[in-house]
Structure 1
Amino acid sequence: MFGKKHFTFQDIPDLSGKVAIVTGANTGVGYITARELARKNAHVFVASRSKERGEGAVEKIKKETGNEQVEYLQLDLVSLKNVKQSAENFLAKNLPLHILVNNAGIMATAWTLTEDGIQDQFGVNHVGHFLFTQTLLPKIEASAPSRIVNVSSLAHTGAPPAGIEFDKINQEDAQPTFQRYSVSKLANILYANSLAKRLEGKEVYVNSIHPGFVKTELTRGIIDKYGIIARIGLSVANLFAKSPDDGALTQLYAATSPEIVEKNYRGMYFVPFGEIGTKTAQAQDDELAEKLWKYTEDLVNEKLRA
């Protein structure tokens, strides 16, 4: 569908002296992303909820790459207090931060609220990453040239005509689960757009990407909700899915390719494998992006005060 690969692992430049955080890096595309950054000599933090799985991924990456500068960073995106603490724990290390890949996510889960009472897909995929990024942002700016990559999805095209219906985000029966996922992925793009505009003129390059349809654990929410029917459907679909290695290429492109700086790519949306993709009209709506920013900022402040 996307033709010849525009970017491969071999195109990642040497990253000696660079520090990176990859959320959701204990498995799937996030793991491959962290592994390849480490292979090119970056100091990599595997940010994930499970200490056991996170530390297991760290040891595996060290073994596969020979890079001992790989660490676990505890991050639970369902808790905004934990998200803020996680970012502060990193900042306490007094390291620079050159690459942040907001990769973690959930998809098509049954109706659930986060610890803060936010619909889980919107809360984990967007709100948690918003707070994590904003808390780390001064360090990212101070470490420039630097990159921020929001992992979105082609699924952003499935958002309703209004894009984000803020009054329906926390209404249980207002939207089907796949549409809630689409809204969260649209939010990933809109947040990248807004942040890129705010950082215009600075050497911080913020972009969003669609990794392609990849065979990963992301589909566990579908299986949990729809059971055997989903399991059968996914087993067929996975015959045509990308491997996690291929799925990681587009975010690695946005995180490391010299082209990002050379062509001054900011607020772009990339598809496999490092090609410029087409956003929906909603994903290019500056007014909606600003409305989302204020909504999220107010929501985070309210929840952290509670």
Structure 2
Amino acid sequence: MDTLVRSSKYHPTTFTLEQVPDLAGKVAIVTGGNSGLGYETVRALASKGARVFMAARSEAKARDAIDRLKGATGCDAEFLRLDLQDLNQVKAAADEFLAKQLPLHILVNNAGIMACPFGLTKDGIESQMGTNHLGHFLFTTTLLPALERAAPSRVVILSSILHEWAPEGGIQFERINDPDAHSAWTRYGQSKLADILFARALDRRVGGRGVFVNAVHPGVVRTGLKQGPQELYGFRGILKPLGDLLALSEYMWSIGPAAGALTQIFVATAPAIDADNIRGQYFEPYCTLGTHSATEYARDDALAERLWEWSEATVGAKLRK
């Protein structure tokens, strides 16, 4: 494992999309694949011959993205409707894919929201936890038969270094839906911590069956996630110049989606993941094994198991019988 961390062959100056292996015959799903990191991931996988399903809530936006993909690369992708804030629809989307009787070699749980004002999903779950973790939990666990059929297969779960902003205790299960419990950023950190813990708990269940599960922090990337903070802080009217200044500063010190997507593409495709049995880990930019940061909660397997139990119970209660 240490060799992978220090090896220069994983340095950003040497890992490029040209190193992605031939993916002909492989099947992939990328959630939130119509824009940002998701679109760049779809583009990379499709360009190497994979059959890619672009999972997104808006069919119109997905169709536009697929047309852009065709125009830019000549490659195609297939639309799969997925609304992560509606658990019944999430289950229907996964079942729709399973009905195709296809193997699933790569699942990239890329979609997410960040630091938006407090709100609830259709199922009454705080929106950031519901979107970033719970919807993906249901989608992934429902798709496990296809992932196991395709083994060795990959599950890549997008997290963030801001999992360090989770509240005391890591995840405060009893207060997830309390609008006064936490700031928008703390709720975001809690949901991103849940992504790392989900990767650890899922690996313990399926890693021995050839499903390689890892979490990824892509870096500070210019994507549509900024819509949450913009809505939160309301940069309109007399505050618009401040919002424009912050947007300019973000542009100067962040990276673009193409660079930001490199780490998740690496984890989704690199032969080293299988060869070196890399699973249940946390990757940082670029393509480097991280340390789960200094946050003890990200390494807490008991907390990961409690999250799994909470997620199973919540999904079971919310799905229509």
TM-score class, shorter-chain normalisation, is over 0.9
Name the CA distance, whole Å, in 1 between partners of 2:207 and 2:98: 24
Contact 2:56 2:83 in 1 (8 A): yes
Name the CA distance, whole Å, in 2 between partners of 1:294 and 1:185: 17
Q: Does 1:250 align with 2:250?
A: no
Partner of 1:112: 119
Partner of 2:239: none
Q: CA deviation at 1:119?
A: 0.3
Q: CA deviation at 1:230?
A: 4.4
Partner of 2:34: 26
Q: CA deviation at 1:202?
A: 1.6
Task: Point out where structure 2 has 5 or more consecutive residues left out of the alignment.
Answer: 1-9, 236-241
Contact 1:78 1:128 in 2 (8 A): yes
Name the CA distance, whole Å, in 2 between partners of 1:36 and 1:200: 25
Partner of 2:4: none
Taking only the aligned residue pairs, the percentage that are identical comes to: 50
Q: Does 1:93 align with 2:100?
A: yes
- TM-score scaled by length of structure 1: 0.96
Question: Out of 43, 51, 58, which is 2:59 matched to?
Answer: 51
Q: Single out whichever of 289-298 and 156-165 deviates more from structure 2.
A: 156-165
Name the CA distance, whole Å, in 2 between partners of 1:95 and 1:138: 10
Q: CA deviation at 1:234?
A: 3.0
Partner of 2:24: 16
Contact 2:160 2:219 in 1 (8 A): yes
Counterpart AA for 1:223: Q
Q: Does 1:171 align with 2:178?
A: yes
Partner of 1:213: 220
Name the CA distance, whole Å, in 1 between partners of 2:56 and 2:185: 24
Question: Out of 285, 297, 300, which is 2:312 matched to?
Answer: 297
- TM-score scaled by length of structure 2: 0.92
Q: CA deviation at 1:91?
A: 1.2
Question: Per-residue displacement from partner, 1:4-55 (whole Å, max 9, x unpaired)?
Answer: 4453211110100000000001000100000010000000010000010011
User: How do 1:234-249 residues align onto structure 2 when only pairs under 5 Å count?
Assistant: 234-249=247-262
Question: Per-residue displacement from partner, 1:64-100 (whole Å, max 9, x unpaired)?
Answer: 22224x1010000110011000111111122111000
Q: Single out whichever of 57-66 and 226-235 deviates more from structure 2.
A: 226-235
Q: Does 1:203 align with 2:216?
A: no
Partner of 1:130: 137
Q: CA deviation at 1:201?
A: 2.0
Task: Indicate the SS of the match to 1:201.
Answer: helix
Partner of 1:288: 303
Distance 1:135 1:6, change over 3 A: farther
Contact 1:163 1:186 in 2 (8 A): yes
User: How do 1:49-88 residues align onto structure 2 when only pairs under 5 Å count?
Assistant: 49-68=57-76, 70-88=77-95
> What is the number of residues matched between the two proteins?
304
Partner of 2:6: none
Runs of 4+ with >4 A deviation: none
Name the CA distance, whole Å, in 1 between partners of 2:173 and 2:33: 30
Name the CA distance, whole Å, in 1 between partners of 2:11 and 2:243: 29
Question: Out of 193, 202, 215, which is 2:200 matched to?
Answer: 193
Question: Out of 37, 46, 59, which is 1:38 matched to?
Answer: 46
